């Protein structure tokens, strides 16, 4: 159930030519590694924010492997008034994906960089996103054209880096952190997905992919670890069924884990907003963020 949200501030500087001037906060969900559950995290964070009462949109920026149509159980061609494209909506969230424009969902997108760049800008400028508190962008893996285009064309609040704990994933995720630092995308926080598995019979926490990976990425990024999400079959089952877990089973422990990450994301963005305004920032992380409790 949604609740009345706190007023949403923004650190985004809206300048002439901003492709989404009505959006207060733009957050990139990204990872240098494929298969870490980035789209699952993006979808469930989006719905967690919506259930908090915020106006939210999700842009599927993974042109080669769009996941939003499947995860939200929605198809169909977006309508247009001749000037702006109307995003599709489901569960109170505005959605746009290249998958909505494909006649055959199994058809491959075979584009070079300039076409990718043009389509992404269209999804920002030509879609009627309206007034939103948060627009999340689900980026493709890697450090290629999409991330570079966004760094050049869009003022963002920051990026949420998604990783899994094992070393083979970390080596690629570190590159994503490095890219953000090089092109000036601030890192808002890190989410460690598939952190552990709890067996039904023994209630023991099994760290199937190792431990500590998210903390290592957070330390490199100089950003907080927003959460460690466990593995659970329901996340996959509901995602495949077209209703992300936060919407399908909001009272479950897994859904609450996603909501906690969303709440920490809101708090982190609020801290950044107050810091940009010259106010005091109080660290309530218990020392996780590794800076003085009160900073300007």
| Helical axes 167-183 vs 145-153, angle rounded to 10° | 30
Predicted pLDDT at 285: 47
Domain boundaries, the chain: 23-295
Predicted pLDDT at 117: 78
What would the pLDDT profile of 30-61 be if each residue is shown by its tens digit?
A: 998 888 989 999 999 999 999 999 999 999 99
pTM for this prediction? 0.86
* Residue 241 backbone zone (phi > 0: left; psi -120 to 50: alpha; other: beta): alpha
The Cα–Cα gap between 46 and 94 comes to: 10
Query: Comparing C-alpha atoms, which of 106, 33, 36, 37 is closest to residue 69?
Result: 106
The Cα–Cα gap between 111 and 21 comes to: 28
Predicted pLDDT at 137: 96
Predicted pLDDT at 82: 82
Q: What is 23-295's CATH topology?
A: Rossmann fold (3.40.50)
Predicted pLDDT at 6: 65
What would the pLDDT profile of 148-162 be if each residue is shown by its tens digit?
A: 888 888 899 999 999
Tell me which residues of the chain have a pLDDT lower than 70: 1-4, 6-7, 9-11, 109-113, 210, 277-296
């Amino acid at each position: 159930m949604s609740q009345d949200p706190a007023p949403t501030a923004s650190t985004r500087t809206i300048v002439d030519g901003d492709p989404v001037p009505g959006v207060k906060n733009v957050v990139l969900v990204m990872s240098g590694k494929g298969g870490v559950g980035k789209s699952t995290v993006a979808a469930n964070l989006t719905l967690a924010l919506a259930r908090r009462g915020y106006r939210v949109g999700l842009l599927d920026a993974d042109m080669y492997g769009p996941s939003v149509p499947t995860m939200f159980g929605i198809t169909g061609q977006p309508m247009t008034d001749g000037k702006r494209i109307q995003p599709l909506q489901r569960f109170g969230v505005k959605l746009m994906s290249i998958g909505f424009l494909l006649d055959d969902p199994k058809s491959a997108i075979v584009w070079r960089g300039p076409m990718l760049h043009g389509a992404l800008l269209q999804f920002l400028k030509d879609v009627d996103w309206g007034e939103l508190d948060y627009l999340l962008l689900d980026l493709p893996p890697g450090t290629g054209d999409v991330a570079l285009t966004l760094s050049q064309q869009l003022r963002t609040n920051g990026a949420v880096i998604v990783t899994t704990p094992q070393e083979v994933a970390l080596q690629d995720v570190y590159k994503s952190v490095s890219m953000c630092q090089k092109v000036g995308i601030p890192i808002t926080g890190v989410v460690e997905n598939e952190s552990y598995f709890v067996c039904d019979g023994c209630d023991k926490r099994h760290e199937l992919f190792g431990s500590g990976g998210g903390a290592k990425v957070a330390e490199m990024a100089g950003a907080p670890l927003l959460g460690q999400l466990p593995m659970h079959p329901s996340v996959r089952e509901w995602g495949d069924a077209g209703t992300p877990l936060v919407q399908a089973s909001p009272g479950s422990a897994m859904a609450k884990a996603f909501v906690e990450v969303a709440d920490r994301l809101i708090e982190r963005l609020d801290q950044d907003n107050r810091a940009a305004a010259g106010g005091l920032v109080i660290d309530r992380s218990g020392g996780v963020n590794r800076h003085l409790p009160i900073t300007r």
